[in-house]
Amino acid sequence: MHSVHFTAETSLNGVVERDFTVGEVPGVLFSPASGSDPAPLVLMAHSGGQHKRAPGIVGRAHRFVTCCGFAVAAIDAPGHGDRPRTTEFEQRVAALRQAQSAGEPVTAIVVDLHTYLAERAVPEWRVTLDALRELPQIGTEGPVGFWGIMQGTGIGVPLTAAEPRISAAVFGCLGHESLTEAAAQITVPIEFLLQWDDELLARESGLALFDAFASKQKTLHANAGGHFEVPRFEVDSATRFFARHLGQAVRSPA
Amino acid sequence: MHSVHFTAETSLNGVVERDFTVGEVPGVLFSPASGSDPAPLVLMAHSGGQHKRAPGIVGRAHRFVTCCGFAVAAIDAPGHGDRPRTTEFEQRVAALRQAQSAGEPVTAIVVDLHTYLAERAVPEWRVTLDALRELPQIGTEGPVGFWGIMQGTGIGVPLTAAEPRISAAVFGCLGHESLTEAAAQITVPIEFLLQWDDELLARESGLALFDAFASKQKTLHANAGGHFEVPRFEVDSATRFFARHLGQAVRSPA
């Protein structure tokens, strides 16, 4: 079994950020600067072309830590951030760029890319989760949440379907019938983001994925605006969602 | 012009409740027990068969007052609560009950009832708003929000379309093409609730009404569950929505 190897540590605004590796997967663990009780863990998966320290990840991770005392782990997806890019990955990305430049439909290429990534990322996340729960500040008993939109949903839906330790998840800004089967296996509480005027995702496709989750508690947050215009207040909503379902009090107004 | 006549006052948990009339319309004004600064005003319209002191109104009103220091006004819709029931109103309610008992479609009857009510309630709300803003604790300058789902949306959508002083509104659990034209005139921020498994409202109908609002800032909150199962945490969300758009800080974690 792999362990967490910490490689660097910084501290900012009450949040300790520790770079780590689990096997060959690099990640960052965000946790409260004070306090030693085991904390609920939130796993964060970045979007396509992004990485574990993308601003959208770091900003949300800090909110989750400071508002609720969560520990938050982000890792690089295969081919992203500090990770090597395989020929298969490069070919898929090149096909995507080519189709985008030509103004051709990209859905089939994105689905193929996400499927390729999820096949690799789901076992990586599970090994990383095993290792993180060996840390005393997290522990083997605490609840685990998942946050990931766009490509993070492409990886997160099959991960959450496969991983019984994840007890609440935020997904969104993605939808395709290739995810329906995994979504139908998910019964934990879900918050699902959708951009009502998404120029990259058919509205019906996102609504259909939300509909597919078997969860008795699921909430769709659809906001006016385009694909990259998810409103900032949805961070607060995700914070409260995790606070409700992972059993932490909100320390400051979120 | 009508004035506010206060008829009774009680105080509970930091909230003063004052019964009032404006002309022949009875209402309740909820406001903070302490503090004398002019406060933003939230108008609350109850659902069908309910009244100004229905538990769903009083509970939410208390949250709006204690979390944000808002003043909140609820009035009885025509034929509801302490108000006389006209023959026209009685006939419509009887037709609704009969169709419900027979298991027949009720949509056309509900639309007719809401139209009947809105024709009367919209001018009543506007006169009530005029009178409330003469009170020093509210004032003529402060922002105004509207909250009303189900029948409250049937009245609130035409009211918000007609009333430029309303600058943010929460609607939901209703949808019909009879409201599309008014919705398309509304440009203020909207939070719209929808029950994903609503047994009384076709999902497409609710989504279509949300789609019809011209507002650049609008958010759909669709929750798993039936018509009467709106989750309690939506009260917190509405509180923060009004705090954002009516310019108040959230005093306690909502």
Of B217, B231, B249, the CB nearest to A224: B217
The alpha carbon of residue B120 is apart from the nearest alpha carbon of chain A, in Å, by 32
Q: Percent of chain A at pLDDT above 90?
A: 92
Q: What is the pLDDT of residues B213-224, one digit of tens each?
A: 999 999 999 999
**What type of residue sits at position B150?**
M
* Residue in chain A lying closest to B67 (CA): A253
CB-CB under 8 Å, B219 with A224:
yes
Alpha-carbon distances, residue A16 vs A12, A62, A69, A134, A243 (angstroms): 6, 9, 12, 18, 20
* Residue in chain A lying closest to B249 (CA): A253
CB-CB under 8 Å, A217 with B222:
no
pLDDT band at B34 (very low <50, low <70, confident <90, very high): confident
Which residues from chain B sit within 8 angstroms of residue A194, using beta carbons?
220
> Minimal CA–CA distance to B43: which of B119, B135, B150, B155?
B155
The answer to whether the CB of A116 falls within 8 A of the CB of A92 is: yes
- Calculate mean pLDDT across residues A74-85: 97
A121: left (phi over 0), alpha (psi -120 to 50) or beta: alpha
Of A217, A221, A224, the CB nearest to B221: A221
Give yes or no for residue B100 having a pLDDT over 90: yes
Q: What is the pLDDT of residues A116-130, one digit of tens each?
A: 999 999 999 999 999
CB-CB under 8 Å, B222 with A210:
yes
What pLDDT, on a 0 to 100 scale, did the predictor assign at position B254? 46
**Optimal mutation site among B220, B223, B232, B251, interface A, most CBs of chain A within 10 A:** B220
Q: What ipTM does this complex have?
A: 0.88
Decide: residue B193, CB within 10 A, 0-12 exposed, 13-18 middle, 19+ buried: buried
Residue A252 sits at the chain B interface (C-beta within 8 Å): yes
Residue A240 sits at the chain B interface (C-beta within 8 Å): yes
Place of tokens 């959230």: B250
- Calculate mean pLDDT across residues B9-33: 96
Distant-in-sequence, close-in-space partners of B20: CB < 8 Å, separation ≥ 6: B4, B5, B6, B7, B26, B27, B28, B29
One-letter-per-residue 3-state SS of A105-133: CCHHHHHHHHHHHHHHHHHHHHHHHHHHC
What pLDDT, on a 0 to 100 scale, did the predictor assign at position B49? 94
Give yes or no for residue B30 having a pLDDT over 60: yes
Q: What is the pLDDT of residues A157-170, one digit of tens each?
A: 999 999 999 999 99
Helix (H) or strand (E) holding B244: helix B233-246
CB-CB under 8 Å, A240 with B224:
no
Rounded to whole angstroms, the Cα distance separating A34 from B199 reads: 49
Residues within 8 A of B (CB atoms), A 147-206 only: 194, 196
CB-CB under 8 Å, B223 with A222:
no
Phi, psi of A78 (to 5 degrees): -50, 135
What pLDDT, on a 0 to 100 scale, did the predictor assign at position A91? 97
CB pairs under 8 A between A and B: 60
Rounded to whole angstroms, the Cα distance separating B7 from B5 reads: 6
**Proportion of chain A in helix, strand, coil states, percent, rounded to 5:** 40, 25, 40
Give yes or no for residue A254 having a pLDDT over 50: no
**What type of residue sits at position B11?**
S
Which residues from chain B sit within 8 angstroms of residue A233, using beta carbons?
240, 244
Q: What is the mean pLDDT of chain B?
A: 95
Residue A27, helix vs strand vs coil = strand
Tokens of B167: 């600058």
Residue B217 sits at the chain A interface (C-beta within 8 Å): yes
The answer to whether the CB of B6 falls within 8 A of the CB of B19 is: yes
Rounded to whole angstroms, the Cα distance separating B141 from B40 reads: 9
Residue B207 sits at the chain A interface (C-beta within 8 Å): yes
Q: What is the pLDDT of residues B158-212, one digit of tens each?
A: 999 999 999 999 999 999 899 999 999 999 999 999 999 999 999 999 999 999 9
Give yes or no for residue A92 having a pLDDT over 70: yes
For the segment(s) A4-83+114-246, the CATH number from 3.40.50.1820, 3.20.20.105, 3.40.30.10, 3.40.50.2300 is: 3.40.50.1820
Rounded to whole angstroms, the Cα distance separating A165 from B177 reads: 45
Tell me which CATH code domain B4-83+117-246 carries.
Answer: 3.40.50.1820
Which residues from chain B sit within 8 angstroms of residue A216, using beta carbons?
224
Of B218, B222, B231, the CB nearest to A220: B222
* Residue in chain A lying closest to B213 (CA): A224
- Calculate mean pLDDT across residues A160-182: 96
Rounded to whole angstroms, the Cα distance separating A136 from A133 reads: 7
> Minimal CA–CA distance to B204: which of B96, B107, B132, B131?
B107
The alpha carbon of residue A26 is apart from the nearest alpha carbon of chain B, in Å, by 35
What pLDDT, on a 0 to 100 scale, did the predictor assign at position A252? 57
Residue A95 sits at the chain B interface (C-beta within 8 Å): no
